């Protein structure tokens, strides 16, 4: 038995933010029914195509363990099928542009009329306010949520990160909102609206930068490298390069091979508790008792010098040797791992964090499995559905269409072309 077994999700999501949310719910055992436009489907099916004629990795890696029904929700019969889906499901998840569901005739009031227990969950770019009608993609959210202004190096352009904190990050927030609303429904018997705005999600993940914004009033941010470099602070939290975000200074340092390998680096944290061990490892035992280096406040104006000395040592070791030497001493370090290295990492394969999935159109491919492990509800990753693969099955088994009524839906144009293999 899976944690969310019995929960039916009407999945109206597309692209990345919404699909990451419903994929998580599917991994926890929910029955996720993805509604897609006949003949077209989620636009990502045909974006960044690497195998001609096959669903893209963009799509397959975000839509595991779901069922797909094709349905034109602007067609009268399509609307009728959608109404039955709304009555049958527990949660409707959507990330359409603002207003699209209302234009379709399925705004919150109509949904409540059809099913008062329905939880209606939405990703939008912005919450209520001046930008609520805007369409938003990942990098717009990173910029509007405070990530870009605080990422990158001082004096250089704002920078977006590779981690999809706007899309996948908001999907995660929405998933938490949905299971919380389901929990509340157990007691109240009522559905509710759940909104995760991408700007809010990114800002939540940038919480420490709003902390620093307020600390600026009390003087310069001493753990930022620019403090030791005598560069004055302005009015807003600055970009901090690779400085660590907390009270234990850290940097990315070169390791052996850095001249030719773009990822031959380690992250090195000068945690106060292990400072004496760091001094011994890097061959600076005299720093242990030197008042200029012995305490964290004394080191703050000298971080460049400190990290230069550590880097002289890390440059003589590979990033894995740094890990092997520092770990037993409790010195927190971490190798910069490339996607190539992560894809081959045996321990990630063993835990199911990296999985190989087979797909009828494209053959085997790698994906990231469920990153949250439940001991009583393990997630087994199943391939994403082909467009409309489960249309017949959902019409008949979930919605109970049969006989003439089923024929009427089939011939209405609402579900598009009926694929023979799907019908069988
Ligand atoms: N049958 C009939 N029509 C359908 C349909 C179906 N099964 N599914 C979708 N449609 C229609 C919608 O009703 C909408 O029609 P109208 O514009 O006439 O109301 C239309 O398809 C397009 O939907 P959309 O506006 O959501 O899609 P888009 O490609 O224009 O915009 C995006 C994409 C992502 C910018 C927008 O959906 C958005 O801002 N979403 C919220 C924020 C978000 O999630 N962004 C992250 C996306 S991942 O980077």
Going by their DSSP bridges, the two strands 66-70 and 91-94 should be labelled as unpaired
Q: Nearest residue CA, atom 30 of ligand 1?
A: 97
Say what the pLDDT of residue 137 is.
96
104 lines ligand 1 (CB under 6 A): yes
Say what the pLDDT of residue 245 is.
76
Residue 288 lies in a domain: yes
168 lines ligand 1 (CB under 6 A): no
Q: What's the number of domains the chain is made of?
A: 2
97 lines ligand 1 (CB under 6 A): yes
Q: Are residues 147 and 255 in the same domain?
A: no
- Span 137-153, mean pLDDT? 98
Q: Are residues 44 and 127 in the same domain?
A: yes
pLDDT tens, position by position, 250-264 = 999 999 999 999 999
Give residue 97 CA to ligand 1 midpoint distance, Å.
5
Q: Which atom of ligand 1 is nearest to the CA of 35?
A: 7
CA 293 to each of CA 210, 220, 239, 277, 289: distance values in angstroms, whole numbers, following the listed order: 30, 20, 26, 13, 7
d(CA 369, CA 42): 21
Per-residue confidence band for 241, with pLDDT thresholds at 50, 70 and 90:
very high
Q: Which helix (H) or strand (E) holds 140?
A: helix 138-144
DSSP 215-280: HGGGS--TTSHHHHTTPPP-SSPPP-TT--SSSS-EEEEE-TTTTT-TT-EEEEE--GGGHHHHHH
pLDDT tens, position by position, 396-424 = 999 999 999 999 999 999 998 755 444 44
Q: Nearest residue CA, atom 39 of ligand 1?
A: 135
Give residue 234 CA to ligand 1 midpoint distance, Å.
40
Is the overall model pTM greater than 0.75, yes or no?
A: yes
d(CA 276, CA 48): 51
Provide the β-strand partners of residue 32. Answer: 9, 66
Judge whether 71 and 415 are in contact, CB under 8 Å: yes
Q: Which atom of ligand 1 is nearest to the CA of 37?
A: 7
Give residue 137 CA to ligand 1 midpoint distance, Å.
12
Query: What is the pLDDT of the chain when averaged over all its residues?
Result: 96
Residue 252, domain extent: 242-331
Q: Would you call 90 a catalytic residue per the annotation?
A: no
Comparing 156-165, 240-249, 371-380, the range with the smallest average pLDDT is 240-249
d(CA 264, CA 253): 9
DSSP 71-115: --TTSHHHHHHHHHHHHH-SEEEE-PSTTHHHHHT--HHHHHHH-
Give residue 126 CA to ligand 1 midpoint distance, Å.
15
Residue 183 lies in a domain: yes
Q: Are residues 189 and 111 in the same domain?
A: yes
Contacts of 290 (CB under 8 A, 6+ apart): none
Q: Are residues 297 and 381 in the same domain?
A: no
Judge whether 58 and 48 are in contact, CB under 8 Å: yes
Q: Are residues 354 and 404 in the same domain?
A: yes
Residue 251 lies in a domain: yes
Per-residue confidence band for 56, with pLDDT thresholds at 50, 70 and 90:
very high
Judge whether 263 and 336 are in contact, CB under 8 Å: yes
Say what the pLDDT of residue 424 is.
40
Q: Which atom of ligand 1 is nearest to the CA of 103?
A: 19
pLDDT tens, position by position, 43-53 = 999 999 999 99
Residue 120 lies in a domain: yes
| CATH number of the domain bearing residue 89 | 3.40.50.10540
Domain boundary among 301, 331, 361: 331
Q: Are residues 311 and 382 in the same domain?
A: no
Say what the pLDDT of residue 246 is.
79
Going by their DSSP bridges, the two strands 66-70 and 31-36 should be labelled as parallel
Give residue 106 CA to ligand 1 midpoint distance, Å.
14
Domain boundary among 284, 304, 331: 331
Say what the pLDDT of residue 422 is.
44
User: Which 8-state DSSP code applies to residue 395?
Assistant: I
pLDDT tens, position by position, 70-99 = 999 999 999 999 999 999 999 999 999 999
Residue 194 lies in a domain: yes
Spacing of C-alpha 336 from chain mean position: 20
Provide the β-strand partners of residue 268. Answer: 251, 333
Residue 341 lies in a domain: no
Q: Are residues 88 and 189 in the same domain?
A: yes
Say what the pLDDT of residue 419 is.
53
- Span 312-317, mean pLDDT? 98
Q: CA gyration radius for the chain?
A: 26
Q: Are residues 193 and 114 in the same domain?
A: yes
Say what the pLDDT of residue 244 is.
87
Q: Are residues 30 and 141 in the same domain?
A: yes
74 lines ligand 1 (CB under 6 A): yes
Residue 178 lies in a domain: yes
Q: Tell me what percent of the residues of the chain surpass a pLDDT of 70.
A: 98
- Span 155-180, mean pLDDT? 98
d(CA 94, CA 249): 41
Q: Are residues 115 and 12 in the same domain?
A: yes
Contacts of 365 (CB under 8 A, 6+ apart): 57, 60, 61, 356, 357, 359
Which of 55, 167, 212, 243 is catalytic? The answer is: 167
| CATH number of the domain bearing residue 268 | 3.30.1540.10
- Span 29-48, mean pLDDT? 97
CA contacts within 13 A on the Cβ side of 223: 19
Name the token pair of 2: 């899976």
Q: Are residues 17 and 69 in the same domain?
A: yes
Say what the pLDDT of residue 420 is.
46
Say what the pLDDT of residue 418 is.
57
Residue 340 lies in a domain: no
Q: Are residues 41 and 176 in the same domain?
A: yes
Domain boundary among 272, 301, 331: 331
d(CA 151, CA 267): 17
d(CA 391, CA 398): 10
d(CA 402, CA 374): 38
């Amino acid at each position: 038995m899976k944690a969310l077994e019995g929960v039916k999700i009407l999945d109206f999501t597309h692209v990345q933010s919404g699909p990451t949310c419903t994929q998580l719910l599917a991994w926890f055992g929910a029955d996720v029914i993805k509604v897609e436009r006949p003949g077209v489907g989620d636009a990502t099916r045909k974006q960044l195509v690497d195998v001609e004629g096959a669903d893209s990795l963009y799509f397959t890696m975000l839509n595991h363990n779901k069922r797909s029904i094709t349905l034109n929700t602007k067609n009268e019969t399509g609307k009728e099928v959608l109404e039955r889906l709304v009555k049958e499901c527990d949660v409707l998840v959507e990330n359409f542009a603002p207003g699209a569901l209302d234009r379709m005739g399925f705004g919150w009031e109509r949904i409540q009329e059809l099913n008062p227990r329905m939880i209606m969950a939405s990703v939008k770019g912005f919450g209520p306010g001046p930008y609520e009608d805007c369409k938003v993609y990942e990098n717009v959210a990173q910029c509007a949520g405070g990530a870009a202004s605080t990422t990158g190096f001082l004096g250089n352009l704002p920078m977006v990160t590779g981690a999809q904190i706007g899309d996948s990050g908001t999907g995660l927030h929405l998933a938490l909102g949905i299971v919380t609303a389901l929990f509340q429904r157990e007691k109240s018997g009522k559905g509710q609206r759940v909104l995760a705005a991408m700007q809010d999600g990114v800002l939540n993940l940038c919480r420490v930068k709003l902390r620093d914004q307020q600390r600026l009033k009390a003087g310069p941010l001493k753990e930022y490298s620019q403090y030791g470099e005598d560069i004055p602070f302005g009015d807003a939290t600055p970009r901090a390069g690779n400085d660590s975000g907390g009270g234990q200074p850290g940097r990315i340092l070169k390791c052996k091979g850095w001249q030719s390998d773009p990822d031959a680096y380690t992250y090195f944290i000068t945690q106060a508790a292990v400072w004496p061990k760091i001094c011994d490892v890097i061959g600076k035992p005299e720093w242990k008792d030197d008042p200029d280096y012995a305490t964290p406040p004394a080191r703050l104006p000298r971080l460049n010098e400190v990290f230069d000395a550590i880097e002289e040592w890390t440059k003589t070791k590979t990033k894995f040797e740094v890990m092997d030497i520092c770990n037993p001493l409790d010195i927190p370090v971490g190798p910069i791992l490339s996607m190539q290295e992560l894809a081959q990492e045996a321990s990630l394969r063993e835990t199911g964090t990296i999985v190989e999935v087979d797909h009828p159109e494209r053959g085997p491919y790698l994906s990231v499995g469920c990153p949250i492990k439940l001991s009583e509800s393990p997630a087994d990753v199943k391939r994403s559905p082909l467009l409309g693969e489960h249309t017949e099955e959902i019409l008949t088994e979930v919605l109970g269409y049969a006989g003439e009524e089923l024929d009427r839906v089939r011939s209405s144009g609402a579900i598009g072309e009926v694929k023979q293999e799907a019908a069988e």
